[in-house]
Amino acid sequence: MIYALVDCNSFFCSCERLFRPELNNRPVGVLSNNDGCFVSRTTELKDLGVKMGEPYFKVKALCEKHGVAVFSSNFALYTNISDRVMTVLAEFAPELEVYSVDEAFLNLTGIKKDLNEYGREIKERVFQYTGIPVSIGIAPTKTLAKLANGIGKKSKKAQGVVVLMEEHLQDIALQRTEIEDVWGIGRQNSTKLRTLGINNAFEFKNYRNDSQIQKIFTKIGRMTQEELRGVPCFELNTVVEKKKEIMCSRSFGSAVTDLRDLRESIANYATSACEKMRKQESACAVIEIFCHSDPFRYSEEQYYAKDKIKFLTPTTDTRKVIKYAWQVMENLYKLGISYKKAGVRLASLTDEANIQYALFEERDDIKSINLMKVMDQINSKEGSGTIRSMGCGVDNKSWKMRQDLKSPRYVSGWNQLPKTK
């Protein structure tokens, strides 16, 4: 087998740079929802010592001093560019697994060309078509491909493409890879492995006490070990699995104390969760609501609450979800608390097609199903929120996310196109 892992370099930042080429040699960072902390950094920003997940307010002064270009996350842009990258990649292999928004596994088994050259060709094509720089690792197993990719990112000489098809090359790479950097080995497991004297991937590969490994972290650990030895155990997951639960939650831009604001935020989260649910053609039987105060404000009264409601017949109707979510919210609400975050989780998802109907509970009638369909169609065409429940509010956005540094909608809609002189 031959697998390739293609990984976009500092993906969110690269998307921002695509429409701001003047930032190409400057440090760029993208913040999480609510402008909380860094979720994507370019090498220049890493070199300044800014860590992944570092809170923005802590390094704001540093960023200003070094002229760091900081952005709020613009997920509409990133998913659009991601889709383009994946489409280009799909042309290079018969099988492709979209592993995350910025990573994909390709099955290159049977490719007759020189793999190094082929990798370079992929890299150049993706950059020409989409403007996104990628690194590529090619190896006989997924775990080794991931590892090769990691090496390629660090090494300047490799120029983003590393092929590890021969064992002696694999061994050198394994020796250079710390045990916690191996794909699928978590922090907990790596601590345990280190107590066994296993510090890097090479030592793990050659550790012969199979039952010990099995004991520490079950079958997955053994499979990972086999993969490092060049025996493929993980196949490509080309079928997109449906999510088993859908969650939508946000921190508020400023503290919320009023029940009305909380209800409004819950209605919005429920709406977006329901949209996602209908998109994957599921229906939910459990709605869970949670809300809590700001754990970093020690001086204030802390409150954390969650509760759920169960239906006998699963529903897809946003209005029904909002209605019951509000009931739960009203029970959870406590006066005098400054809420920082709230969220909605839809669980017990079943396929819309094989819903089991309960005898004594009203189910979604054909009218409501059609209404939801029409709403989804309009909203996907005219922009989300064009048609929504009154409960989502009109303009009162005291609870809304803070996204002060968001880039324009370059690739969606028509009123914020990039302009040329």
Residue 359 beta carbon to another protein: minimum distance, rounded to whole angstroms: 18
Residue 410 beta carbon to another protein: minimum distance, rounded to whole angstroms: 8
Residue 192 beta carbon to another protein: minimum distance, rounded to whole angstroms: 44
> Do 164 and 147 touch, CB atoms closer than 8 A?
yes
Return the number of other C-beta atoms located less than 10 Å from residue 377's C-beta.
Answer: 11
Q: List the structure tokens of 78.
A: 């990133």
* Measured distance CA(73)–CA(39) in Å, rounded: 9
Residue 414 beta carbon to another protein: minimum distance, rounded to whole angstroms: 8
- What is the contact surface with another protein in residues (CB under 8 A)? 21-22, 83-85, 87-88, 128-131, 410-411, 414, 417-421
Nearer to another protein (CB atom), residue 83 or residue 258: 83
8, β-bridge pairs: 134
Nearer to another protein (CB atom), residue 85 or residue 283: 85
Residue 211 beta carbon to another protein: minimum distance, rounded to whole angstroms: 49
Closest by CA position to 247, among listed 314, 341, 164: 341
Closest by CA position to 204, among listed 151, 183, 169: 183
DSSP assigned state of 144: H
Residue 379 beta carbon to another protein: minimum distance, rounded to whole angstroms: 21
Residue 18 beta carbon to another protein: minimum distance, rounded to whole angstroms: 9
* Residue keyed to tokens 């701001």: 20
Nearer to another protein (CB atom), residue 84 or residue 120: 84
Sort 157 into a burial class: Cβ within 10 Å, 0-12 / 13-18 / 19+: exposed
> Do 196 and 207 touch, CB atoms closer than 8 A?
yes
Nearer to another protein (CB atom), residue 75 or residue 127: 127
> Do 308 and 245 touch, CB atoms closer than 8 A?
no
Nearer to another protein (CB atom), residue 17 or residue 205: 17
| β strands within 209-258, DSSP E | 246-256
Nearer to another protein (CB atom), residue 257 or residue 380: 380
Nearer to another protein (CB atom), residue 295 or residue 413: 413
DSSP assigned state of 279: H
